[in-house]
Every structure is written in structure tokens, then in C-alpha cells.
Amino acid sequence: MNNSQQISLKERFEKQFEEHKKNLYKHDTRKVAEYRSQGYDAFRRLGFPTRKLEDWKNTDLKKALETDYKQEFELTHEEVNVEDLFECKVHDFDTEISSLLNGWYVYTDSPLKKLPDGTIMGSLAKAMKEYPDLVDQYYGEAFRLEQNGFTAMNTAFAQDGVFIYVPDNVKVKRPIQLINIINKNENIFIQNRNLVVIGKNAELTMVHCDDSVNHNISFTNSLTEAVIGENAGLDHYKLQNLNNNSSLINSSFFSLEKNSRLKANAITLNGGLIRNNIHVSLNGENGAADVYGVFLLDREQHVDNQVFIDHRMPNCYSNELFKGILDEKSTGVFNGHIMVRKDAQITNAYQNNKNLLLTDEAKMNAKPFLEIYADDVKCSHGATVGQLDKEAMFYLKSRGIDADKARTLLMYAFAAEVIEKISIEPLKVRIDDMVKRRLRGELSVCDRCVLHCSEPEKEIEFDIDLSKI
């Protein structure tokens, strides 16, 4: 309950670092090793964030950090068939699957795969051995940009994760689905590191799922660095469906080079405590970033979305839209920080956060923050917190729809604005269905990949016919 226990978790990690040093540095390239040492020093200095820090004011980690967690410093599962553990394939949604089990890459045939188009996909630890130059060229940007307790800790402690490299001019056909599975009978602390590099003129779609398999307590400190090359594009979907005993710190760093595009969409269906740290750097001219999110919370769930958009160069565009529905005693945070640097003339930056509170006890804390140093800038921001529209409720009821169904329809309609933005049709249909189920209270943590937990109503024929209207 007090500070000393937090310090003690920190101390315990310091002890473990010394104890497992050999393992920790085992796969490192020279540069990664350097970062690891720096990360460790920074972690010792910074520790876990507390509510005294401005950007942690509304998220209390105290309870989550009281637990005694164990991290796996060695790969304990040499070969696991993920499909045995977790059914991932979705019949109408063909993806390339890569999974992490408790933070370690899981493989059936090879730890590092080369797809026919030249794309490399697999374990980061393995990539450090086989493609050290590639890793060194891109690794560590996140740590340079944002030194906080969790990026530092991840840099010090992460040993594995997913590595994806898309060569120049390659448009990866099948989306890559990255699945983080937590399955441990002890309280586990997971720190994985993902590195995604997209070459010039290349394109990639990623679907990133955070799922828990059981109801044990866990803490994940996950960090993803994605570098989007000149004229390249990344569609990044994040789906979170975790148990109420889980804490997840999820940091994503996106760097956009000249003329590149990012579409990020974070969909939170369930989770105990989730912190999404999204950092977008527009490093070249004409970059475009759409950053969307929707979160559906109930019970005592807490989601904290921190979005930082850094306009460093002229002629870039960013658009944020985050929508939250908070039921029961759930709490949410949205902090959107837009930075427009001196050189970033002709910037267009938009931000919008809308929230629905379904009870008096649910709370939402929204704070936009614009920091503008250029003069030719178009910026807008808005945040609303409201209840379900009474007029609309009555309109629906006056057509025979009962209060429960009317509420669900309106909540769904509210979330739909974000779901509409999903450009992959089968994925949209899935997510759409999951959101509906979630709103009807039918979706919780399941023993399969969240994409698989629900089957959209089979009305395909019906849907086709509708287009004639």
C-alpha cells in the first residue's frame, strides 16, 4: 500500500538484473547491449512512475505493483504449437500469424521466417544474431525519444519480441497478426520488444492482439518500435481483450519518413489496467497519421490513452479520434498532446475525444494539449463527456424498441464511427461483431484469440442483398 513496496519491486528487479545479466545480454548486438546498460541506469534512476508525475496523475499503479511478479529470463518453451494453446486462424481472415507466449516468440518450424516476397518475420532475439546490422540501424529510437520508467525498464529487461522487416517496394499481401498470449500459473511480468521496419514504398497491415488465456495476475510492459520508410504505409490495429487482473503498459513508437502513412487503431474490449502510450513522430514532409481508438469499459476497468503527435516537418497531417464508453465504476483517461515544431509549417492536426458515461460512478479524464511553435498551422481539438442522448432513446422506443436494445444500438452507433475507419472488410466485420457482443455484455476473456471468440451473425446473403436498396 505504501511507497516502500513499490521501491521493493524496483529493488527486486534490480537484483534480478544483476542475477540474470548473462541471460539478458546473451542475444544482444553491440548496440542493443549498450542500450540495455543505459536503460538499466535510467530505470534505476527513474523507477516506476507515480501519480506525482503529471502524465501519471490519473493512473494509479500502486495496486498493480504490490504484487510479487516473476519474469522469465530464459525461454522455457522450445517448441509450442500455438494452435494447441490458442485457436487463432479465422476462416475468412487470412493472416500470417506470429505469437509471443509470455513475451517469448513462439515458433513451429523456424524462429525467423522469410516470406516469398522477402519479408522477414520472427523472433527479435534471433534477428539480432542473423540481421545485426538491420536491428542496429533501427533499434532504440523509442528510448532516445521518451525516457520514462517503463521504456527504460523495457530497454533493460526485454530479451525477445517480434521482428518484422519489409523490404523496399514490397506490399505485404496478408496482414501479419501478432498475438501476445499470457499463460502462466504464477504472477508473471512480461517485457517484450517488437521492432517493425517497413522499407521505402512498402506496405504492411498488422493486427496486434493482447489476450489473456487465464485469469491469473500479470503485468506486461510491452514496447513496439515501428519505422515507416519513405512513401510507405502501415495499417496497425490493436485489439485488447485482457482479464481484469492484468495490467498492461503498451508503448508504441511510430516514426514516419517522407510521404509515409500511418493508420493506427486501438480497440480496447476488456482489461484490468491498460495504458496505451502512442508516440507518433512525423520525421519527413507529407507524412500522414490517423490515430484512432475506441474503448469499452465496465466494472473497475481503467484505460489510459496517451497520444503524442510530434510534427517535426512541414506539410504533415495528423488526425486523432478516440471514443470511450464507460459503464459501472470504470475510469478512463485521454491525454492528447500535439507538438508542432518550428519547422513544421503547413501542419494540419486534428484531435477529437468523445466519451459516453453510462453511470454516475464512471469517470473520464480528458485533456488536450497543443504546443505550437510554427505559424502556418491548422489545429483543432475537442473533448466531450456525455450521456446517451435522451431524444434518440425516446425515438427508438417510440418504434417499439425496448430500453436495453435502444441503449445497445446507441452505444454501438457511438463506437461505430471508429469501427467504420477499419479498411479491411473481414476485420471490420469481426471487430464490429465483437463490439456488439461486448456492448450486450456477451464478450469477456475467452480461451481463444479474441478474433476467434465471436462469429459474426451469418447473414452474408442478407448483407449482399441489402446493397440493392
Partner 1 sequence: MLLNIKNLHVEIDGKEIISGLNLGINKGEIHAIMGPNGTGKSTLAYAIAGREGYEVTKGEIIYKGENILNWEPDKRANEGIFLGFQYPVEIPGVSMTNFMRTAINAQREYREQGSISGKDFLARMEEKKKLVEIHTKLTSRSVNEGFSGGEKKKNEIFQMAMLEPTMAVLDETDSGLDIDALKIVANGVNLIKNEENAFLIITHYQRLLDYIVPDFVHVLYDGKIVKSGGKKLAEQLEEQGYEWIKEEFERVS
Between 369 and 395, whose beta carbon lies closer to partner 1? 395
Least CB distance from residue 320 to partner 1, whole Å? 19
Least CB distance from residue 467 to partner 1, whole Å? 7
b/e per residue 312-332 (b: at least 16 CB within 10 A): bbbbbbbbbbbbbbbbebbbb
* The only residue of 145, 401, 424, 446 in contact with partner 1, by rule CB under 8 A: 401
Rounded Cα–Cα distance for residues 186 and 139 (Å): 31
- HEC per residue, 159-196: CCCEEEEECCCCECCCCEEEEEEECCCCCEEECCEEEE
Judged by CB under 8 A, the stretch of 61-69, 148-156, 162-170, 412-420 that binds partner 1 is 412-420
CA angle 236, 368, 238 (to 5 degrees): 15
Between 110 and 384, whose beta carbon lies closer to partner 1? 384
Q: Are 171 and 200 in contact (CB under 8 A)?
A: no
* Closest CA relative to residue 183, chosen from 252, 243, 224, 272: 243
Contacts 24+ apart (CB under 8 A), 395-398: none
Q: Are 181 and 149 in contact (CB under 8 A)?
A: no
* The only residue of 417, 426, 447, 456 in contact with partner 1, by rule CB under 8 A: 417
* The only residue of 70, 144, 299, 397 in contact with partner 1, by rule CB under 8 A: 397
* The only residue of 11, 413, 442, 455 in contact with partner 1, by rule CB under 8 A: 413
Which residues within the stretch 442-461 sit at the binding site for partner 1 (CB under 8 A)?
459, 461
Between 30 and 468, whose beta carbon lies closer to partner 1? 468
Between 7 and 460, whose beta carbon lies closer to partner 1? 460
Which residues within the stretch 19-78 sit at the binding site for partner 1 (CB under 8 A)?
none
* The only residue of 22, 30, 52, 399 in contact with partner 1, by rule CB under 8 A: 399
Between 307 and 415, whose beta carbon lies closer to partner 1? 415
* Closest CA relative to residue 256, chosen from 290, 225, 288: 288
Does 390 interact with partner 1 (rule: CB under 8 A)? yes
* Closest CA relative to residue 270, chosen from 437, 404, 384, 420: 437
Contacts 24+ apart (CB under 8 A), 432-438: 432/456, 433/457, 434/239, 434/269, 435/267, 435/269, 435/294, 435/296, 436/408, 436/412, 438/269, 438/270, 438/296
Does 425 interact with partner 1 (rule: CB under 8 A)? no
Q: Write the binding mask 334 to 373 for partner 1: x where contact by CB under 8 A, - elsewhere.
A: ----------------------------------------
Q: Describe the crossing of helices 3-19 and 149-157 by its angle, rounded to 10 degrees.
A: 20
C-alpha cell, 61? 499503479
- What is the amino acid identity at position 182? I
Q: Are 404 and 212 in contact (CB under 8 A)?
A: no
Between 24 and 325, whose beta carbon lies closer to partner 1? 325
Between 216 and 408, whose beta carbon lies closer to partner 1? 408
Does 409 interact with partner 1 (rule: CB under 8 A)? yes
C-alpha cell, 271? 482489461
Judged by CB under 8 A, the stretch of 32-40, 50-58, 63-71, 411-419 that binds partner 1 is 411-419
Does 396 interact with partner 1 (rule: CB under 8 A)? yes
Judged by CB under 8 A, the stretch of 4-12, 159-167, 294-302, 397-405 that binds partner 1 is 397-405
Interface residues toward partner 1, by CB under 8 A: 389-392, 394-403, 405-406, 409-410, 412-417, 459, 461-462, 465-469
